[in-house]
Amino acid sequence: MAKKEETISLIDTFSEFKELKHIDRATLVSVLEESFRSVIAKMFGTDENYDVIVNPDKGDFEIRRNLKVVADDKLENPNLEICLTDARKIDPSYEEGEEVSDEVNFASFGRRAILNLRQTLASKILELEKDSIYNKYIDKVGSIITAEVYQIWKKEILLMDDEENELLLPKNEQIPSDFYRKGEQVRAVVARVDNTNNNAKIILSRTSPVFLQRLFELEVPEINDGLITIKKIARIPGERAKIAVESYDDRIDPVGACVGVKGSRIHGIVRELRNENIDVINYTSNISLFIQRALSPAKISSIKLNEEEHKAEVYLKPEEVSLAIGKGGLNIKLASMLTEYTIDVFREIEGASTPDEEDIYLDEFRDEIDGWVIDAIKTIGCDTAKSVLNAPRDMLIDKTDLEEETVDDVIRILKQEFEKE
């Protein structure tokens, strides 16, 4: 009786295990059947003549062995056959060639069989648990989750989710000023799921640009609704970030929507990122203009682009250079990351800032040429009269998106100025 109770307790033990580890009932029943069959096959060489019935509703199981009735002098394999005399002890009506099905008490197989079953079950359930964690988190890569700090080590933090799955936040995925105590809640993005040797490791990140993107999606409804798109992100975690956004609705100011009234939307993100400064700019496919915006708050005088090598030479007035470079070079570094252009900053020399002594800045023509036209031309790196006249007409039309007639008027006005002289 004690042995049978010990065997039945196996079902209880792993039923509880199932509840803790969220393994579904059908899967656990299948694993139990496989485990019993595995032990039986090891003991008798085959499990083909055994029926294993697990009843999850009652929390018990039944094992039945099917034996062929043979004459008393022809019994060769007691695991597959039963002699006629013994069969008739069960039921006097049995004849040779018929099949006897009798219930087997698994506990009668001995303690070694029970121990083997426990080990087999534990191994299979551990595999299932790993698969379950992998399948759960592989679909969450790129999503923000919240988990509790369980243990803090030098190189990483161990966290637990609400199902007590283990998650890792490595030191290099933490913002430099991050500091946590055991029991605190941490928000991070699922960066990747490693599954080396079927051992799932969930790696989180707070330094990934994706984390910043997901935070904006949570705080800015227009992004979540698809009215505003995040086109580019550049981050130096804990220091500064630049994010380029674009609106698909002319009525929506993407920068204003992301910042919110008096910074209401962006303040929460800044706090989450340990006071990381965030610059939000309007995205444009015009690379010259995009570089100008990326270098904000500096104001650029002119740009020379090398599109093949993805390089840009930026010319600024002396007082603007330090703004362009930024504290510790952060501004220009982030602008380069955002635009994917190597940016070189040059200081305009006072008194010789124009390439030619007879040249004239375009801004001097604002009484004859519309300001928006001058601004459009300056975005392609032409900020003096001669730089415009020396540029190919087709290039001016193509790069500025101005009408041919407008470009021709600009060229005519600039030529007239030099003809007067």
DSSP per position, 244-286: EEEESSTT--HHHHHH-GGGHHHHHHHHHTTS-EEEEEE--S-
Q: How far is CA 125 from CA 24, 32, 128, 147, 202, in A?
A: 11, 9, 5, 24, 19
Q: Which residues pair with 236 in a beta bridge?
A: 240
Which residue has tokens 């039986």? Answer: 40
Phi, psi dihedral angles at 19 (to 5 degrees): -65, -40
Contacts of 256 (CB under 8 A, 6+ apart): none
Distance in angstroms between the alpha carbons of the first and the last residue of the chain: 117
d(CA 105, CA 275): 67
Q: Where are the domain boundaries for CATH 3.30.300.20 in the chain?
A: 209-283
Q: Report helix, strand or coil for 45.
A: coil
The tokens of 309 are what? 């090598």
Strands 185-194 and 144-152: antiparallel
CATH topology of domain 209-283: GMP Synthetase; Chain A, domain 3 (3.30.300)
Kindly state the helix (H) or strand (E) to which residue 393 belongs, with its residue range. helix 393-400
What's the alpha-carbon Rg for the chain, to the nearest Å? 38
Kindly state the helix (H) or strand (E) to which residue 194 belongs, with its residue range. strand 185-194
d(CA 90, CA 65): 14
In terms of Cα–Cα distance, which of 148, 261, 132, 270 is closest to 204?
148
| Architecture label for domain 147-207 | Beta Barrel (2.40)
Question: Are the CB atoms for 118 and 175 separated by under 8 Å?
Answer: no
d(CA 221, CA 257): 9
Q: What share of the chain is helix, strand, coil (3-state, %, to 5)?
A: 45, 25, 30
Looking at residue 48, its pLDDT comes to 86
Q: Where are the domain boundaries for CATH 1.10.150 in the chain?
A: 362-420
Kindly state the helix (H) or strand (E) to which residue 234 belongs, with its residue range. strand 228-236
d(CA 125, CA 30): 11
The tokens of 263 are what? 């910074």
CATH code linked to domain 2-135: 3.30.1480
Indicate the DSSP class of residue 315: E
Is the Cα torsion angle 74, 76, 82, 83 positive or negative in sign?
positive
In terms of Cα–Cα distance, which of 339, 345, 307, 306 is closest to 323?
345
For the entire predicted model, the pTM comes to: 0.64
Instruction: State the Cα angle at 377 between 373 and 380, rounded to 5°.
Output: 150
Q: Where are the domain boundaries for CATH 2.40.50.140 in the chain?
A: 147-207
Counted residue by residue, the chain has a size of: 421
Strands 240-247 and 277-282: parallel
d(CA 208, CA 190): 10
d(CA 238, CA 361): 41
d(CA 384, CA 365): 10
Looking at residue 181, its pLDDT comes to 94
The tokens of 398 are what? 């193509």
Looking at residue 390, its pLDDT comes to 79
Question: Are the CB atoms for 200 and 137 separated by under 8 Å?
Answer: yes
Phi, psi dihedral angles at 415 (to 5 degrees): -65, -40
Tens-digit pLDDT profile for the chain (421 aa)? 444 454 445 555 555 554 545 566 677 778 778 888 888 888 888 888 888 887 766 666 788 888 899 898 888 888 888 898 888 888 888 888 889 887 877 777 777 777 877 787 778 777 777 788 888 899 999 999 999 999 999 999 999 999 889 999 999 999 999 999 999 999 999 999 988 777 889 999 999 999 999 999 999 999 999 999 999 999 999 999 999 999 988 899 999 999 998 889 999 999 999 999 999 999 999 999 999 999 988 989 889 999 999 999 998 887 888 888 888 889 999 999 999 999 988 877 554 444 444 677 787 788 788 888 888 887 776 777 887 887 778 878 877 888 899 999 999 988 888 776 5
In terms of Cα–Cα distance, which of 301, 308, 306, 300 is closest to 335?
300
CATH topology of domain 362-420: DNA polymerase; domain 1 (1.10.150)
- Tell me the H-state helices in 163-253: 209-219, 221-224
Looking at residue 21, its pLDDT comes to 53
